[in-house]
């Protein structure tokens, strides 16, 4: 694989040549696995111009092989379903798992163990919540009284 000069327009997500994963589709395109679909498309178009057998100075056999690998990489990475499956296959996860430091979890457990409530969701209602429940209860009672009044006025019996 030939060393390429860095593109001044490249984004910060480009993988440095020293750490590029040459065996992955991301390495073929020279993008980071977290690259956006637009970024992948832009890089693919640049590289396809560079390696297309009709526009390159490389030998026809080398250019064809590189261009086919480039197309294969782009076909996989441009399709969201294929890209997800490929990411699983190479062991890349887009899900960032952030865990609290162990001492913070310990402090939370200690705080709730001293609490009178069984868990953080078992707490007294706030003033706004009590007011909302009062309004809903009043509305329910008002609707029932209105239904009874209409039934009495029509002469219907229960």
CA distances from 130 to 33, 97, 126, 138, 140 (A): 50, 37, 6, 12, 15
pTM over 0.85: no
Neighbour-count burial for 63-75, b at 16+ CB within 10 Å, e otherwise: beebbeebeebbe
Kindly indicate the confidence band of residue 131, based on its pLDDT and cuts at 50, 70 and 90: very high
Q: What is the pLDDT of residues 6-37, one digit of tens each?
A: 444 444 454 444 344 667 888 888 888 888 89
Region of 94 on the Ramachandran plot (φ > 0 left; ψ -120 to 50 alpha; else beta)? alpha
Q: Which long-range contacts (CB under 8 A, 24 or more apart) does 2-6 make?
A: 4/30
């Amino acid at each position: 694989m030939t060393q390429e000069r860095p593109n001044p327009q490249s984004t910060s997500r480009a993988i440095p040549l020293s750490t590029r994963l040459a065996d992955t589709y991301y390495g073929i395109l020279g993008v980071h696995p977290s690259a956006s679909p637009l970024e992948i498309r832009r890089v693919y178009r640049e590289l396809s111009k560079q390696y297309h057998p009709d526009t390159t100075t490389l030998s026809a056999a080398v250019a064809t092989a590189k261009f086919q690998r480039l197309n294969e990489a782009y076909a996989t990475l441009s399709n969201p379903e294929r890209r997800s499956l490929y990411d699983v296959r190479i062991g890349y996860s887009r899900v960032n798992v952030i865990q609290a430091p162990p001492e913070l979890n310990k402090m939370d457990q200690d705080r709730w163990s001293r609490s009178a409530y069984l868990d953080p969701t078992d707490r007294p209602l706030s003033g706004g919540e009590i007011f909302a429940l009062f309004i809903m209860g009043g509305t329910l009672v008002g609707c029932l009284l209105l239904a009874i009044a209409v039934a009495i006025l029509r002469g219907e019996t229960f």
